[in-house]
Amino acid sequence: MKENRQSVTFPSLNDTYNFDFKPTDETSWHYCAQCSYKAKLKGTLKCHIMTKHNLKNRYACEKCPFKCAWKFKLRIHINRFHLDEQDVEWHTCEKCPFKAKAKSDLVNHVKRRHLNDENVKWYKCNECPYKTKYNYYLKKHVIGKHLDQEKINWHECEKCPYKTKYESDLKNHMVSRHLDEENVKWYQCDYCPYKAKLNNNLKRHINYLHFDETEAKWYKCNECPYKTKYKVALKSHAVTKHLDEKKINWHQCEKCPYKSKNVAGLKSHMIFRHLDAENVKWYHCDYCPYKAKLKINIKRHINYLHLDETEAKWYKCEHCPYKTKNPSTFYTHRRKHI
């Protein structure tokens, strides 16, 4: 396998890749005429206009629905998703075996795994205490939490009613829902037969099922001993257990009185209760005629009924020897110890 090794030099990483974008009162802003976007640099505004508003000269991938405003982004996309392993230009970490197909992924890995918090220049929100190591996450936070609904630049799917505030989510949606099977670049697990359409799904799978206590990335609650391998589970825990009822941002169903503390709960409710049968994307069991509207339900079905003792995912109690394949039964049992 050919491996073109490119590495990131650690001493200059902070200087090169970390910027504190918190503006000052003296900032001279350049405003977009078509939306609420603003930028410090004129060149950055031009990039925004090309990317978000100029749809005529976009570069389109020949193998999937992906398209973009910049040729270099198309090259990154092809390198990441469509090249054979031996043709990929790899970027390797100097501190561990990690390697990435995109340099930005390597930089994010270094920030996440090898930089101490005191050495990081944080991206800080002007509206709340939120801070992050990544400019991309700050943008997502501002759009999701602080931007008025009428100012949001929605990204809409051309093939179904789906829309999102985030361009990356739309790309993931296209791959997950609308890309033909023969055009999918599958991410294969090195430890078991599992494969995923999205790299992040494979990472979560490996972290949850194949990494031991010391290797796994844990998300820990600041208010109690709770910890989890899933970031979304930590957010759900914080909202459910520690957030004042008056401060909860409820997600209300438009068709019935149902409301949820998290978006995932509302999405599941909409699919399960209100989506017409002809619009449902069914998940079929490979072992029996069972089918489900929700992917999580088909996973639980297969785990509970079709996987043997060694393959199955077990829910183990931290306080006693009890274990089960059924998560509902497990959570009911766990409440006995609280």
The tens place of each residue's pLDDT in the chain, 338 residues long, gives 444 444 443 333 333 333 344 444 555 788 887 787 888 887 778 777 766 766 555 788 887 777 777 787 788 888 777 877 777 788 888 888 888 877 877 887 887 778 777 777 788 888 888 888 778 788 888 887 887 777 777 888 888 888 888 888 888 888 888 888 778 878 888 778 788 888 888 887 887 777 777 777 788 888 888 888 777 778 778 877 887 777 777 888 888 999 887 777 888 888 888 888 777 888 888 889 998 888 888 888 998 888 888 788 888 787 788 888 888 888 788 777 75
CA distances from 19 to 9, 14, 41 (A): 17, 8, 14
Q: What is the pLDDT of residues 289-313, one digit of tens each?
A: 998 888 888 888 998 888 888 788 8
Percent of the chain exceeding pLDDT 70 equals 88
Q: In whole angstroms, how large is the CA radius of gyration of the chain?
A: 22
Does the structural domain 6-114 have CATH classification 3.30.160.60?
yes
Q: Which two tokens stand for residue 57?
A: 């000269």
* Gap between the Cα atoms of 183 and 126, Å rounded: 42
Report the amino acid identity of residue 270.
Answer: M
Q: How large is the greatest C-alpha to C-alpha distance in the chain, in angstroms?
A: 65
In 10 A of CB 106, how many CB atoms?
A: 21
**CB burial of residue 66 (10 Å; 0-12, 13-18, 19+):** buried
